[in-house]
Chains A and B, each alone.
Chain A
Amino acid sequence: MKKKIGVYVCHCGGNISDYVDIEKVKEAVKEEADVYLVKNTLFACSDSSQKEIEHDIQESELDAIVVASCSPKLHVPTFRGVAQRAGLNPYNYVQANIREQSSWAHSDNPVGATEKAIQLVKAAIAKARESEALTPVKIPAVNVAAVIGGGIGGLRSAISLAEMGTEVYLIEKESKIGGHIAQWDKLFTSNDKGSDIINSLYSQILKHTNIKIFTNAEVIEKTGSIGNFNIKVKIDKEILPLHVGAVIVNTGFESYQPLQSEYGYNVLENVITLPDFKNLIEKSDKELIHNGKIIKKVAYIYCVGSRQDDEGENKYCSRYCCTAAIHVAIEAKQKYRNIINFHYNRGIRTYGKQELLYEESCKNGDIYIQFNLENKPQIEVVKGKTLIKVKDILTAGKEITAEVDLIVLVTGMISRKDDTLINTLKIPVGRDNFYNEIHMKLRPVETVIDGVFIAGTCQSPKNILETLNSSQAAAAKANSVLTKGEMTLEPTLAQINPASCILCENCRNACPFDAIMTVNYEDRQVAKVNVSNCKGCGMCTPVCPTDAIDLAGFTNPQIEGMIDALVN
């Protein structure tokens, strides 16, 4: 069938036209088969140009359009929108990138850039010629979510989901909900008690009949895809199958445990971690006593297990520990007036409102000593006295010694060591071993596994405020997907022609998304694409020995046509 294709060559201000001869491009492609009209435009993405293209589509009854401009990453959605508004199927639109791939890359060679642009536009025309109208795939979804992790973040996610009408299964590995927070007394910066906060969240949970809590429970299996996950939860020794539309992972962190003899840990009895010290402060009575000795001078060594040098793998900052240590130091000072706090830090990071705590601590007369990684504090015991020596940056690198009674290692956060969930859910982890989101800024709570969201400190170190922010964001994101009742998927999916499939398993092995399943076809087994898992990546197409697989939007005729156009 003959098509009427409209081609628009964009100047992009001068970004393209300064190096690529637009007139030559127009001249070269106007005789291409099926090309009905060729126009140039100063900015194809401008409102007026968009309106002009819409007008052309309707007026000339175009079957496909090509815009030769910038990277498809930037403006494919724009021009698909143009097509749609003019009544043309969005998948009949093809973008040729003559800016990044031509004018910018070959600004030293305008003649070559022009030639290359011509080839690229011809290839795009070839693809447009073979383009088909595609319709997005819709699959049903259940409005049920599983929240894994019953800490403060998980509780918050569950409540937010329940409030929005999503049914929630809250799955907690321990015998009690509440996580780390439930164990702590005063929390920065509001001084609320951890147990009070957890109790308040728990009482909210009880008001929602659509939240079911499972404790001593672990997710051991996940199949299916967004909108229709089948998960298996092991509760004690029983296995409970659940059908959910989305999963929010909110499994939290573990406290870094100092290595044997790191700053004297496990060797000197007066070296403890920050959580230990917080417990000590909160449980001590009139005098602060550790190991039978009254504590007057406390040294805090910051960044233990965080911001490590080449020997350690934790390069990140744990975000909460500076503030937590200072908050504990203030608590200690309030409870025991004669305590002297020494803060051995690598730059204090009490960002935002937490800075007020730093201010308060300074006003209390706390002493701040700053070191760098090359000169870590050295701990010595001389005649029963514990001495810390360090080259203090703030005193021009002079070696300063302090005699202290107790050393508190300000330990940071590390990811959960138990990786069964990573294997079960197939969530990608970063080099820091925390779960990875798709994009830190643009899609901060989504993972590459559609329908699996991450929130809280399983993703990266966060303080409580940040944990709750991300927990509610994940809840909102999950709910926005599930409440529609159905999922709309990109139609650019792989299709297997069952007649030519020989079930060689090549495609299944190549698929990174577990989207190949086996079905019966005319008394034999063949491979079939599970559309809800397929991302249209195209990995399966080239490995098929019988060419049984085609990818919608990138069909073999389209790609072959493009190659022909490029090599001609």
Chain B
Amino acid sequence: MALIKPELTKDIEKYGTFDFKACYNCGNCTAVCNLTNKNSNFPRMFVRYSMLGLKEEILTSKEPWECYYCGDCSEKCPREADPGEMMMSLRRWLTAQYDWTGLSGLFYKYLPAFLTAMLMVLAGVLIFANAVKWEVEKMLQFGHFFEMIAIAAVFVIIFIPNLMRMWYFMVVKTHSNVPLKNYFTALNELFIHMFTQKRAKDCTDNHFRWLEHFILVIAYLSLLFTTVFLNWFHTQNLFIIVLGYIESAFIFVITVDFVKDRMQKKKALAKKSKPSDWFFVIWLLLMGFTALGVRLFIDLNILESNKWMYIFHLTVLAQWALIIVPFGKWTHFLYRSFAMYFIKLREPEIKSIK
């Protein structure tokens, strides 16, 4: 039963700057969207669901993840209601719904809570550094260890249960009868979307943004691999050292461009940056920047006398791994691709309905 919940509308409003009240259901947004089709009716239908507060409908929907925010709809909206931002807000809201801890929602809606968490991580890093008497070697060792533990823990404790919840909402609740075989045959869909975001290429005038994003994802994942598994900060292998430099440089350059976009506010998707957007892109920038700095200081042999550089890096890393990755925008990386995966699972059923 689709029950109207006006209070849900108020809740969704806290995840973005969309002006629900401006929309008069003309449908221009859907008409201009390159990605909408007869099986995926958005943004208008989702503006409508949000206005009425139809929780079940939104929760079980794939459409918010099918939007890559080119901003065409927002530019063409005669009421300046900004449906693109609406879809973005729904993704934030969905992220909060999938998250069993409830922290995503808390951080999205209440900036002080987020800042407090960030400061607590900073305090934790300082306490740890003090405990090891600010010895660089120990800190480096621990940092490497921490990275592996953090990745594993976030996956096991946060992401796997959250993805299970997402699966429950999108597949179980929609009463989709998916044969077990499909879970394997659809896997390639998952990885293609995870690493390439290929659907985003269909967005209007989006090829350069897509390319930047693609390089950034590859560089980020490679750097993660290089630091964690190839142990970049300890290796003597020249190839690995150079590879790490290149990867972190790519991350730095592209994130600088993204920050510049958000500051210039020319592109639709960069016009209305929420704190979660700023922290994501700046911390990614800092990740590239500090990793590069640490390795540079090691190569110049000045890290011992400039311990702050590593503490800086460790702080950014810890905040990134413990807060921004599990509870922030980073999760789009997983949810988008898993949404495509779940859609692929449900594909025969979706086709038969239409």
Q: Is A294 an interface residue (CB 8 A)?
A: no
A362-B21, A362-B24, A363-B21 known; A396 and B3 CB under 8 Å? no
A363–B21 CA distance with the chains assembled, in angstroms: 5
On chain A, the residues within 8 Å of B4 by CB distance are 342, 367, 400-403
| CB closest residue in chain B, given A404 | B4
**B residues within 8 A CB of A362?**
21-22, 24
CB of B6 within 8 A of CB of A401, answer: no
Given the complex of chains A and B, what is the CA–CA distance between A52 and B54 in angstroms?
78
Contact with B along A379-415 (1 / 0, CB 8 A): 0000000000000101110111111000000000000
Whether A365 sits at the interface, judged by CB under 8 Å, is yes
Q: With a CB–CB cut-off of 8 A, which chain A residues contact B6?
A: 297, 340, 365, 367
Q: Does B300 contact A (CB under 8 A)?
A: no
B348 CB, nearest partner CB in chain A, Å: 22
Contacts of B2 in A (CB 8 A): 395, 398-401
Question: Is B21 a contact partner of A400 (Cβ separation < 8 A)?
Answer: no
| Distance in angstroms between the alpha carbons of A363 and B23 in the assembled complex | 10
Contact of A394 with B1 at beta-carbon distance under 8 Å, contacts A362-B21, A362-B24, A400-B54 already known: no
A230: Cβ under 8 A from any B Cβ = no
| Contact indicator per residue, chain A 241-274, by CB within 8 Å of chain B (1) or not (0) | 0000000000000000000000000000000000
Task: Determine whether the beta carbon of B49 is less than 8 Å from that of A395.
Answer: yes
Asked if B182 lies at the interface with its beta carbon under 8 angstroms from chain A, I say: no
A400 to B6, CA, bound (A): 13
**Known A396-B45, A400-B52; contact A364-B21, beta-carbon cutoff 8 A:** yes
Closest Cβ neighbor of B1 among chain A residues:
A401
Q: How many residues of A are in contact with the other chain, CB < 8 A?
A: 19
Residue B86 at the chain A interface, CB threshold 8 Å = no
Q: Which residues of B contact A365 (CB under 8 A)?
A: 6, 9, 20-21
Chain A CB within 8 A of B116 CB: no
A367, A399, A403: most-surrounded residue (chain B CB, <10 A) = A367
B111–chain A nearest beta-carbon distance, Å: 24
**Residues of A close to B24: CB separation below 8 A:** 362
- Pick from A297, A363, A367, A403: contact of B52, CB under 8 Å: A367
How many residues does chain B have at the interface if contact means C-beta atoms less than 8 Å apart? 19
- Chain A residues with CB under 8 A of B9: 365
Q: Which residue of A lies closest to B25 (CB)?
A: A394
CB of B51 closer than 8 Å to a CB of A: yes
Contacts of A363 in B (CB 8 A): 21
Which residue of B3, B22, B48 contacts A403 across the interface (Cβ within 8 Å)? B3
Contacts of A395 in B (CB 8 A): 2, 45, 48-49, 52, 54
**A-B contact count, CB below 8 Å?**
45
**Docked-complex contact A396 and B51, CB < 8 angstroms:** no
Nearest B residue (CB) for A358: B24
Give the distance to chain B from A497, nearest Cβ to Cβ, in Å: 72
Q: CA–CA, A398 to B2, complex, Å?
A: 8
Which residue of B has the minimal Cβ distance to A342?
Answer: B4
State in angstroms the CA–CA spacing of A265 and B48 once bound together: 30
Set of chain B residues within 8 Å of A297, measured between Cβ atoms: 6
Whose C-beta in chain A lies nearest to the C-beta of B53? A367
User: How long is the Cα–Cα vector from A395 to B53 in the complex, in angstroms?
Assistant: 12
A340 to B52, CA, bound (A): 12
Q: Which residues of A contact B54 (CB under 8 A)?
A: 395, 400
Is B41 interfacial (CB-CB < 8 Å)?
yes
B20 contact set on A, CB distance < 8 A: 365
The answer for the CA separation of A402 and B3 in the assembled complex, in Å, is: 6
Query: Which residues of chain B from 43 to 67 have a CB within 8 Å of any chain A CB?
Result: 45, 48-49, 51-52, 54, 57
Q: Which of A340, A369, A396, A399 contacts B41 (CB 8 A)?
A: A396
Q: How far is the CB of B28 from chain A (nearest CB, A)?
A: 14
Q: How far does the alpha carbon of A21 sit from the alpha carbon of B22 in the complex, in Å?
A: 66
A392 to B20, CA, bound (A): 18
Shortest A343–chain B CB gap in Å is 12
Q: How far is the CA of A364 from the CA of B9 in the complex (A)?
A: 13
By a CB distance below 8 angstroms, the chain B residues around A403 are: 3-4
A364–B6 CA distance with the chains assembled, in angstroms:
12
Q: How far is the CA of A363 from the CA of B24 in the complex (A)?
A: 11
In the assembled complex, the Cα of A396 lies from the Cα of B6 at a distance in Å of: 19
- B30-51 with Cβ < 8 A to chain A: 41, 45, 48-49, 51
Neighbouring A residues of B25 by C-beta, 8 Å: 394
Give B41 Cβ to nearest chain A Cβ, in Å. 7
Closest to A402 in B: B4
Complex alpha-carbon distance, A394 and B49, angstroms: 10
Q: A380 → chain B, closest Cβ, in Å?
A: 11
Alpha-carbon distance A353/B274, docked complex (angstroms): 38
User: Measured between alpha carbons, how far is A37 from B9 in the docked complex, in Å?
Assistant: 85
> Could you say which residues of chain A place their CB within 8 Å of the CB of B45?
395-396
Give per-residue flags for B1-18: 1 if the beta carbon is below 8 A from chain A beta carbons, else 0: 111101001000000000
Q: Given A365-B20, A365-B21, A400-B54, are A394 and B3 also a contact pair (CB < 8 Å)?
A: no
Establish whether residues B21 and A401, one from each chain, have CB atoms under 8 Å apart when the complex forms: no
In the complex, A342→B41 CA distance in Å?
24
Contacts of B41 in A (CB 8 A): 396
The smallest beta-carbon distance between A334 and chain B, in angstroms, is: 16
User: For residue B44, which residue of chain A has the nearest CB?
Assistant: A394
B60 to chain A, nearest CB (A): 13
Assembled-state Cα–Cα distance A499/B29 (Å): 84
Determine the distance from Cα of A165 to Cα of B49 in the docked complex, in whole angstroms.
62
0/1 interface trace, chain B 278-290, chain A, CB 8 Å (1 if under): 0000000000000
A392 neighbours in B (Cβ, 8 Å): 52
How far, in whole Å, are A364 and B51 apart by their CA atoms in the complex? 12
The smallest C-beta distance from A339 to any residue of chain B, in angstroms, reads: 11
CB distance from A281 to the nearest CB of B (A): 20
Bound-state Cα–Cα, A401 to B4, Å: 6
Chain B nearest CB from A386 CB (Å) reads 13
Contacts of B51 in A (CB 8 A): 367
- Kindly list chain B residues whose C-beta atoms are within 8 Å of the C-beta of A394: 25, 48
Q: What residues on B are CB-neighbors of A364 within 8 Å?
A: 21
Interface string of A193-208 (1 = CB under 8 A from B): 0000000000000000
B interface residues, Cβ below 8 angstroms from A:
1-4, 6, 9, 20-22, 24-25, 41, 45, 48-49, 51-52, 54, 57
Can you list 11 residue pairs at the A/B interface with Cβ under 8 Å?
A342-B4, A362-B22, A363-B21, A365-B6, A367-B51, A394-B25, A395-B2, A395-B48, A395-B49, A400-B2, A403-B3
Given contacts A365-B6, A395-B45, A400-B4, 5 further A-B contacts (CB under 8 A): A297-B6, A364-B21, A398-B57, A400-B3, A401-B4
Closest 10 CB pairs of A and B: A402-B4, A401-B3, A394-B25, A400-B2, A363-B21, A395-B48, A340-B6, A401-B1, A362-B21, A365-B21
